[in-house]
Amino acid sequence: HSTLVKIDAHDGGREELLLAIVLNHPHVLDDDLESFATITFNNRQLDKLRNQILSTIESDLDLDRDTLLNHVKEQGLALIVERLLGSAVVKTNRFTAPEADQSAVKNGWEDLIRRMSSIEMLHNDFLAAQEAYAKSETEENWARIVALKVQIQKLEQYQDQ
């Protein structure tokens, strides 16, 4: 059983959904390339795919779906792409599909970017809170850790309808 595109319980499938949107609707990067480029991916294989997409788009900013898919597959990522686009999380979130309504694609994209950025910021705050608590074991520092953990868990439980 391969783990090439294993859904990471930690991210609720957001990495897969984000990549599926980009592969099926590369135009979403026209206005938001920086967000896509700077979000941290936890899955190394998916990060490799993201980096290949970025490299491909750098050389041709006006790619359509078929051209992008073909190029990424030619770079040795065909199996990852196939598993990603065939995964249950992608298939059940219709806004990632090639035939999806463009407003649904845009809304799904914006929501994913916002949630992933928020989670990343909260994780950084959580690490800082842990460091503060390690230096000074006060109730205030502990309460901050607990509050941040609750916020992170709420955001990480996200699953699109």
Q: Which of 65, 97, 69 has the alpha carbon at shortest distance from 81?
A: 69
Is the predicted pLDDT of residue 160 greater than 80, yes or no?
Answer: no
Residue 14 has a pLDDT of 87
Residue 42 has a pLDDT of 87
Residue 61 has a pLDDT of 64
Residue 63 has a pLDDT of 85
**For the segment 1-18, what is each residue's pLDDT rounded down to a tens digit?**
333 333 333 455 889 999
**For the segment 59-112, what is each residue's pLDDT rounded down to a tens digit?**
876 789 999 999 999 999 999 999 999 988 888 899 999 999 999 999 999 989
Q: How far apart are CA 86 and CA 96, in angstroms?
A: 11
3-state SS, 8-75, equals CCCCCCHHHHHHHHHHHCHHHHHCCHHHHHHCCCCCHHHHHHHHHHHHHHHHCCCCCHHHHHHHHHHH
Q: How far apart are CA 35 and CA 113, in angstroms?
A: 7
Residue 156 has a pLDDT of 73
Residue 40 has a pLDDT of 87
**For the segment 45-63, what is each residue's pLDDT rounded down to a tens digit?**
999 999 999 999 888 767 8
Contacts 24+ apart (CB under 8 A), 117-124: 117/35, 117/39, 118/155, 119/11, 119/152, 119/155, 119/156, 120/39, 120/40, 122/148, 122/151, 122/152, 122/155, 123/152
